[in-house]
């Protein structure tokens, strides 16, 4: 039995509130005093659903990108301390043999429950919009390679990011959608019409909207408008104050609706670590003032953010200077950090504090900092 000053329960905030856990599952939830003496009591705490990060490459000094089991477990543990109870393991672009080997290793970790699935970010992306991906390993989608990866993955590839303007991309979208993989449009130089065709074929996510895409133009709106205007699309936003201006984050959230935004960290190995030299895949990265950049080009190389930090930053941004987040803001931020990404990934067992879902609970203090993480399995 857990009691808190506030419990974010779906589209309601109970003040005060409680929830009961049995066998790792929420067995009851409600407002007011709990029906029995609580085992855990947080009289100044806010209970939020455990965060779901659908785009992350590592953290805490460890990486997801090559599938090393010890590294993946360590990075997942770091992010769990900061509230992420469900993590996707995102790769970076790599050559065919290396990518296949990485998928094999990550597959076993998905089956072991360490990860909720694999996100293939590349290598089927635009060279001109590759960002922190090695341009030497980029290539056009190949039906045989994709079929081989899908077979090796054994159902563990959850999402793929690709550029729809590449030769063979539309066929690849069909192939992935038929296999039950979520297709995301990103690292792309596509036109508005090309992005629309990708959505017609089943793409449903915008990989870190605005970043590694052409800017919105008044004569050629490009992929940004296509992704924002389609009500079926969930848009990723890296709301760390570096990748996007905070005002843009706030206005996009309000423009498309809080039910269509997934806040993601896109975190790399340096999250939670001091400034210095790091690696992202095969590329050297320098972190200065908490900002990660490719050493050779200066391109932003993922983030050093955590989901807990994104929840707090977004809530403060939506509060328009108010000292405390309103219940409406708390509900919106829970949706963007948990409910929406869980829905994208097809996970009905996490994403909200409701009866029957896993008891993945993050306790926030009054400043919305993560104090405790409870993750009943």
Please give the full DSSP string across 151-193, using - where no structure is assigned.
HHHTT-EEEEEE-TTSTTHHHHHHHHHHTTPEEEE-S----HH
Ramachandran quadrant class, 10 (left: phi over 0; alpha: psi -120 to 50; beta: rest): left
Return the CATH class of domain 51-313.
alpha beta
The DSSP call for residue 337 is I
Using alpha carbons, select from 107, 102, 207, 212 the residue that is nearest to residue 157: 107
Taking only the tens place, the pLDDT of each residue in 6-35 is 999 999 999 999 999 999 999 999 999 999
- What is the rounded distance in angstroms from the CA atom of residue 162 to the CA atom of residue 183? 8
Taking only the tens place, the pLDDT of each residue in 46-75 is 999 999 999 999 999 999 999 999 999 999
* Whole-model pTM over 0.85: yes
What pLDDT band is residue 281 in, cutting at 50, 70 and 90? confident
Taking only the tens place, the pLDDT of each residue in 135-182 is 999 999 999 999 999 999 999 999 999 999 999 999 999 999 999 999
Beta bridge mates, 20: 28
Beta bridge mates, 6: 46
The Cβ-side half-sphere exposure at 291, using a 13 Å CA radius, reads 10
Taking only the tens place, the pLDDT of each residue in 189-235 is 999 999 999 999 999 999 999 999 999 999 999 999 999 999 999 99
- What is the rounded distance in angstroms from the CA atom of residue 103 to the CA atom of residue 169? 20
Taking only the tens place, the pLDDT of each residue in 344-376 is 999 999 999 999 999 999 999 999 999 999 997
Taking only the tens place, the pLDDT of each residue in 230-254 is 999 999 999 999 999 999 999 999 9
Evaluate the CA torsion angle 294, 295, 298, 303 in order and state its sign.
positive
Choose the catalytic residue: 53, 266, 327, 367.
Answer: 266
What pLDDT band is residue 334 in, cutting at 50, 70 and 90? very high
Between strands 2-9 and 62-63, the pairing is unpaired
* 266 included as an active-site residue: yes
20 is written with which tokens?
A: 């009961």
What pLDDT band is residue 270 in, cutting at 50, 70 and 90? very high
What pLDDT band is residue 282 in, cutting at 50, 70 and 90? confident
Decide if 109 contacts 156 (C-beta within 8 A): no
Beta carbons within 8 Å of 291's beta carbon, 6+ residues apart:
242, 300, 304
Q: Give the pLDDT score at 21.
A: 96
**Domain ranges for the chain:** 1-50+351-377, 51-313
What pLDDT band is residue 322 in, cutting at 50, 70 and 90? confident
Phi, psi at 31, each rounded to 5°: -100, 160
Taking only the tens place, the pLDDT of each residue in 87-142 is 999 999 999 999 999 999 999 999 999 999 999 999 999 999 999 999 999 999 99
Helix and strand totals (H; E) in the chain: 10, 21
Opening angle at CA 255, ends 252 and 261, nearest 5: 55
Return the CATH class of domain 1-50+351-377.
mainly beta
Q: Give the pLDDT score at 377.
A: 57
Provide the percentage of residues in the chain whose pLDDT is more than 70: 99
């Amino acid at each position: 039995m857990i009691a808190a000053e506030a419990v974010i329960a779906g589209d309601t905030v109970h003040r005060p509130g409680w929830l009961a856990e049995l066998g790792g599952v929420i067995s009851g939830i409600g407002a007011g005093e709990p029906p029995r003496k609580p085992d855990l009591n947080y009289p100044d705490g806010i209970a939020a659903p455990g965060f779901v990060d659908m785009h992350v490459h590592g953290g805490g000094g460890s990486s997801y990108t090559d599938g090393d089991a010890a590294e993946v477990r360590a990075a997942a543990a770091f992010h769990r301390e900061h509230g992420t109870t469900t993590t996707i393991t995102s790769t970076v672009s790599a050559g065919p043999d290396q990518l296949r080997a990485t998928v094999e290793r990550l597959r076993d970790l998905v089956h072991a429950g360490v990860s909720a699935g694999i996100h293939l970010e590349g290598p089927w992306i635009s060279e001109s919009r590759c960002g922190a991906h090695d341009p030497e390993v980029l290539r056009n989608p190949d039906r045989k390679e994709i079929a081989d990866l899908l077979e090796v993955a054994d159902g563990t590839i959850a999402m793929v990011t690709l550029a729809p303007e590449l030769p063979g991309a539309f066929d690849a979208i069909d192939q992935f959608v038929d296999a039950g993989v979520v297709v995301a449009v990103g690292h792309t130089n596509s036109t508005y019409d090309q992005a629309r065709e990708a959505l017609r074929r089943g793409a449903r996510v915008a990989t870190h909207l605005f970043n590694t895409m052409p800017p919105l133009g008044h004569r050629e709106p490009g992929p940004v408008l296509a992704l924002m205007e389609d009500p079926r699309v969930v848009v990723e936003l890296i709301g760390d104050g570096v990748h996007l201006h905070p005002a843009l984050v706030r206005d996009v959230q309000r423009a498309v609706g809080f039910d269509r935004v997934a806040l993601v960290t896109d975190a790399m190995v340096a999250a939670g670590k001091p400034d210095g030299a790091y690696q992202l895949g095969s590329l050297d990265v320098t972190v200065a003032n908490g900002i990660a950049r490719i050493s050779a080009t200066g391109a932003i190389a993922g983030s050093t953010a955590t989901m807990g930090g994104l929840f707090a930053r977004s809530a403060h941004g939506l509060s328009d200077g108010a000292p405390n987040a309103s219940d409406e803001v708390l509900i919106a931020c829970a949706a963007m950090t948990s409910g929406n990404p869980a829905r994208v990934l097809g996970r009905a067992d996490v994403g909200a504090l409701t009866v029957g879902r896993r008891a993945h609970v993050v306790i926030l203090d009054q400043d919305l900092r993560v104090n405790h993480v409870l993750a009943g399995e």
